[in-house]
Structure 1
Amino acid sequence: MRNWVLKSTVLFLVLLIVSCSGLQTKRPTQSTSVPIVKQSEAILLTGAENTKSYLHLLKGKNVGIITNPSGLLTASNATNDTLPNGKIIAVRYFYKRDAQGNLQQYSQSIVDFLLESHIAVQKIYAPEHGFRGTADAGELIKDGKDTQTGLPIISLYGNNKKPKPEQLEGLDIMVFDLQDVGARFYTYISSLHYIMEACAENNIPLLVLDRPNPNGSIVDGPVLEKEHTSFVGMHPIPVLHGMTIGEYAQMINGEKWLKDGKQCELTVIPCLNYKRDMEYSLPVRPSPNLPNDQSINLYASLCFFEGTNVSVGRGTDLQFQIYGSPFLKNMRYEFTPEPNFGAKEPPHKGLKCFGEDLSKIEKVNRLELKWLLKAYANTEDKATFFNDFFTKLAGTQTLRQQIEAGDSEEAIRDSWKNGLEAFKKMRQPYLLY
C-alpha cells in the first residue's frame, strides 16, 4: 500500500511539473490583451524605449515635443531588469490583434506613449514633412491641430524654422525625438540646431531621445565650408558624419555652433545595446521618399542628383534606388515619374527617363561618386546638368569644379582626406557608443 501511495505521489508531481511547464510556454488565449514579456540578453532599445531613464524627468512638467512618424516605440523597458553587465533580460513588447484575432507586435507613437504615461504634453512641433510625415520635401507645412490627440501643432518648416518665444510659452521642458539617417543635408539635424538655439535663448531644458544612425559606421564626403551654410548644411561636417542625433546634439553644444555661442541645457537619453557598426533596419520610413533600408543606405550618394537635372526616382516606388533623366538616352533602364505619395510634382513628371536601377545592389559602405560621374559623362546636356542647389548639397564649389574638369573619383576622394581626419578628431569627445 505504501509503495502504491509513493508511486501515485511521484506520478502526480511529474504531471504537475509537466503541466506547469506547458503553462509557461503556452501561447496567449484570444482574450489576452496585455503586453507580453519576452526574454533577451541584448535587445536594442532606442532612447524613446529607454523609458526608465527619462519619464521621471517629465513628470509634473508641461512638455513640448518635436517629432513625426519616426518617433516610435516598438518596445518599452518599463518592466526591464538588468544584469550587472548591463544586459537586458526582460523587455515588454506592444501587441494587438489583427482581423483574424492573431497577436501582432505593433509600434506606438512617442506622443501617445507620453500621454498614456500621464505626461502633460502641451504642444507638438513639426519638422519638414510635417507631424504625420505626409508632406513633400520642401513643401510648406502649416500650423494646425492634431486630430487624434487634439494637441496644437506648430510648424518648424518654411519661414518658421525656429520656435518663437511666444510659441514656447508655458513649457517647462522640450523633448526631441526624430529618426536621422546620418547625412548632413537631411534636415532633421538642422531642426535640431534651431530647437537647441530656441531652448538656450528661452531657458528651456532639452531632452533628446537618441536613435541609431542606420549609416553610423560611415564618415565620408567633403566637409562643408562656412560660406555655403544653408538649411541643408549648417555645420562644418562631412556629408556622412557617422553620429547619432544625440551625439550630434552634444557636438552642436560643445562646439558652440548656436547663435552667439550659446549652449542649451541638454540631456541625451542613450540607446541601450547599440553599436554604431551594427545593422539597423528602421521600423518606419523616416520621410516619405525613403521607403526602405536600400534607399536609406543610398540616400547620401544619390542626393547629389537633387542638384542636377537627374531624377532620383521621386514619383516612382523606387525613390533613392534609381536615377535617370531624359538626357541619358544611351542608358538602358527606363522609368517615368508620376505624382504619388511624397511627390506631387516629381522632376520630369510624365517624361521617360533613362538611367540605372540600384535597388538590388549590395549595401554601400562609403559615399559613392561613381553614379554621379557616370551620369555627367553620359548626359546629352552638360550645360544644364548642374543647378545652384548642387553647391549647397556638396557644401563646397570644389566638387562641381572637379567633376567638370574630369577629375577621377580617386583624386576627388583624396581631396577630402584632411578634412575628414580633422572632423573625426573634433567629434571624438561627443561619441556615446
Structure 2
Amino acid sequence: MYALIRFVFLAGVLALVPDAPAQVQLGSDVLAANGFKELQGKRVGLITNPSGVNRSGESTIDLLRRAPEVKLVALFGPEHGLYGDMKAGVPIPERMDRRTGLPVHSLYGATRKPAPASLKGLDALVYDLQDTGVRSYTFISTMGLAMEACAEAGVEFVVLDRPNPLAGERVEGPMVDDRFRSFVGQWNIPYTYGMTCGELARMINGEGWIKKPCKLTVIPMKGWRRTMVWRDTGLRWVPTSPNVPRADSPLYYAATGLFGELAGGSGANIGTRLKRPFECVIAPWLDANRMSAAMSRFGLRGISFPTFSVTHEGQRLHGALLKIGDPVHASLVAVNFYLLDGIEKASGRDLFAEAMKRKKDFQMFDKVCGTDEIRRQLKAGKSAAEVVESWKAGEEAFRLPRQKYLLYTDAAVTRSAPVEDHKSPPVMETKPEAAVESRPAPPPIATNSAPPSLPSVIILVSKGDSAAKIAQDFGISASDIAEANPGVNLNRLKVGQKLKIPRTQAK
C-alpha cells in the first residue's frame, strides 16, 4: 500500500515538471543531414546575416563553404547588413567580405532586388535569414524580390526554413492596400501572418505576387509545430538586428512598433533608446500608476502592464512595461491602438490629434499599416476596439488561401499528399510553369505516415472559449478546426455553437 501511495505521489510530482523544450532542426540542419544533396554540383549565392546559423550556432556561410561539391561564390546582405550591425534605414554599400574573400552584394542600398550581374554564373540563390513574423520587418520583402530576380535570371531559389518566433497561428492586423505597397509592406498579408519564411515563399510564388514564378525549393524544418514560439524550440536566439536582441523581442515589436511610428515627436518612448526595445511606453508627462491602471482595465488577454519609471539622459520617464505572459494567445497588434486609448485615459492627451496639429507626416505610418484606413479611423475618433474590429474581415479572407501553403501542423508533420520517394530529403519544389505545380511534400517528420484518424467529435462552444483554447484542449491546431468547419468564422464563436473537432490517434 505504501509503495502504491509513493508511486502515485511521484507520478503527480513528475506531472508538474514542465517538459524541456524540444530542439527544432532548422532547414540548414536538414540540408546538412542529407549531405547537401539539393546544392551538390552547384555554384551558389547566399542571403544571410548573423541570424543565419544552424542549431549548433555554426553560420550558414561556413556550413556552405565546407559543404562537399558545393561552391559558395557570393554573399548578399539585407537591411542591417551582412553582420547585422547597421541601424534601420541606413543604406549599405557593396563590399568584399574580408573573412571569406567573397563579394557582398547589398540588397539595401542602390537596389533592393538582386541585380542581374550579381546572379550571373549562379545555379542557386540560398535564403537563410531569421525573420520576426511581422510584415514591416523587411527580410520577407527582400526574399520575395530575390525570388523575382531569380525567376528572371533562371536561377533556383532555395529557402532554408526557420521558425516564426510569433508561432504559426498568429494572423492579426490590417491587410495591404495596393496603393500603399512598399518595402515595409510588400505582400498582401496581415501585419502578423502566421507563416514561416518557407511557407510565405510558397505563397508568394503560388499566388502570382511576383512577375514570374521562380523555381523554388524549400528545405523544411523537423520538429517545429505551429503553436511554438521561440522559447519552445530549444534554439538559441541570435539578434536579427540591433533592436531585436532577444527571443521575445519580436513579440514586443508586434505590440508597440505601430504605436511607436505614430507617437514619434510626442515625447513617448517605447524603449528603443533604452535596453528594452519595444517593451515599454514611457514619457516625462505620464503617471506610471494611472497608465498601468488604464491599460489593465482593458483586460487584454495574456499581457500585463506593471508600472515602470527610469531616468534616461538626465530625464525621469514614467509609464508601463509590457509583460507578455501568454505569448501564444495574447493579441499583440491590437495593443498598439489600446496604448493610444490608455494614454488618453491616463493623461488626457490624444497623441493622434497632437500629431495632426504638428502636421506630422503620416506617410511611413500608412506604409507600415499597409493602408490609410487606420489613420482615417483614428481621425474619426474610433476607439481601439473599433479599429481592431475593422481588420477582422481581412484576416479571415487571408486564412483561406494561406492554408494550402502551410507545411507544418501541431503534430510536427507536413500537410501533404503521399510522397513519391520516402528516401528523398524533405523538399517542397515549385516549378516555373504557368500553372504552378508542387512536388509532393515530404513525409511526416516524426513517422513515415500520418497518425490514423479517429471519428470527429462535436462540441458546444462554452463561455470563454476561443478557437485557440479549444485547439489547445484537444491537442490540435486552430487550422485543423478551420478545415473541419468550412464557412465558420472562428473569430466570432457564440456560446452554444456546434463545432466539429478532428482527432487522430496520436492526439
TM-score by length of 2: 0.65
Give the counterpart of 1:47 among 10, 27, 38.
27
The Cα shift of 1:326 comes to 4.9
The Cα shift of 1:225 comes to 1.0
Q: Give the 3 Å change call, closer, same or farther, for CA 123–307 of structure 1 in structure 2.
A: farther
Runs of 4+, deviation exceeding 6 Å: none
* Structure 1 residue 203 corresponds to structure 2 residue 154: yes
* Structure 1 residue 115 corresponds to structure 2 residue 96: no
Paired residue type of 1:268: V
SS of equivalent to 2:175: coil
Paired residue type of 1:58: L
Aligned counterpart, 1:78 = none
**1:372-387 equivalent positions in 2, closer than 5 A:** 372-375=340-343, 378=347, 379=349, 382-384=353-355, 387=362
In 2, the alpha carbon distance for the partners of 1:416 and 1:54 equals 45
Tell me the percent identity: 39
The Cα shift of 1:293 comes to 2.8
**1:129-168 equivalent positions in 2, closer than 5 A:** 129-168=80-119
How many residues are matched?
A: 350
Q: Give the 3 Å change call, closer, same or farther, for CA 432–362 of structure 1 in structure 2.
A: closer
* Structure 1 residue 397 corresponds to structure 2 residue 372: yes
In 1, the alpha carbon distance for the partners of 2:394 and 2:280 equals 30
* Structure 1 residue 271 corresponds to structure 2 residue 221: yes
Q: Give the 3 Å change call, closer, same or farther, for CA 128–176 of structure 1 in structure 2.
A: same
Give the counterpart of 1:212 among 163, 170, 174.
163
* Structure 1 residue 240 corresponds to structure 2 residue 192: yes
Root-mean-square deviation over aligned CA pairs: 2.4
Give the counterpart of 1:425 among 382, 397, 400.
400
Paired residue type of 2:51: S
In 1, the alpha carbon distance for the partners of 2:146 and 2:285 equals 42
The Cα shift of 1:380 comes to 6.7
Deviations, residues 108-154 of structure 1 (Å, cap 9, x unaligned): 10001111224311111000110110010111112112222121111
After superposing the two structures, state which structure 1 stretch, 118-127 or 51-60, moved more. 51-60
Give the counterpart of 2:253 among 299, 304, 319.
299
Aligned counterpart, 2:53 = 72
* Structure 1 residue 413 corresponds to structure 2 residue 367: no
Answer with 1 or 2: which has the greater Rg: 1
In 1, the alpha carbon distance for the partners of 2:250 and 2:138 equals 14
SS of equivalent to 1:392: helix
* Contact residue 66 and residue 176 of structure 1 kept, 8 A: yes
Paired residue type of 1:252: I
SS of equivalent to 1:72: coil
Deviations, residues 57-96 of structure 1 (Å, cap 9, x unaligned): 2122111000001101124xxxxxxxxxxxxxxxxxxxxx
In 1, the alpha carbon distance for the partners of 2:109 and 2:315 equals 29
Deviations, residues 201-256 of structure 1 (Å, cap 9, x unaligned): 10000100000101122111111111111100012111010000000000000111
In 2, the alpha carbon distance for the partners of 1:238 and 1:431 equals 16
* Contact residue 164 and residue 229 of structure 2 kept, 8 A: no
Q: Which runs of 5+ in 2 are unaligned?
A: 1-19, 292-306, 409-507
* Structure 1 residue 365 corresponds to structure 2 residue 330: yes
Q: Which runs of 5+ in 1 are unaligned?
A: 1-39, 76-106, 339-349
TM-score by length of 1: 0.75
Q: Give the 3 Å change call, closer, same or farther, for CA 362–41 of structure 1 in structure 2.
A: closer
The Cα shift of 1:43 comes to 4.0
Q: Give the 3 Å change call, closer, same or farther, for CA 193–164 of structure 1 in structure 2.
A: same
Aligned counterpart, 2:263 = 308
Q: Give the 3 Å change call, closer, same or farther, for CA 308–206 of structure 1 in structure 2.
A: same
The Cα shift of 1:359 comes to 5.0
The Cα shift of 1:276 comes to 1.1
